[in-house]
Amino acid sequence: VYRWLCTLGYDVTYVRNITDIDDKIIKRAVERNMSIRALTDEMIAAMYTDIDALGIARPTHEPRATEYVPQMLTMIG
């Protein structure tokens, strides 16, 4: 859809969230004796390798969930 809209001349902002914190990530980081950030950086790099190999367009913005924890807590109340 992103490429199609761009081809039609639309200025598209493509955003994909990176969930870089959850119970499974924490568990895996502990199992591998590494920081959560190091683990997620490794997994994100692997994701980029895969999506590039598949020819999938990269997003305009890719915020990490951990960058918005205070805002999420405010929303939860």
Give residue-wise pLDDT tens across range 6-34: 999 999 999 999 999 999 999 999 999 99
Other beta carbons less than 10 A from residue 59's beta carbon: 16
| pLDDT for residue 77 is more than 90 | no
Exposed/middle/buried for residue 40 (C-beta within 10 Å: 0-12, 13-18, 19+): buried
Which CATH number applies to 2-71: 3.40.50.620, 3.40.109.10, 3.40.190.10, 3.40.50.720?
A: 3.40.50.620
pTM of the prediction?
A: 0.82
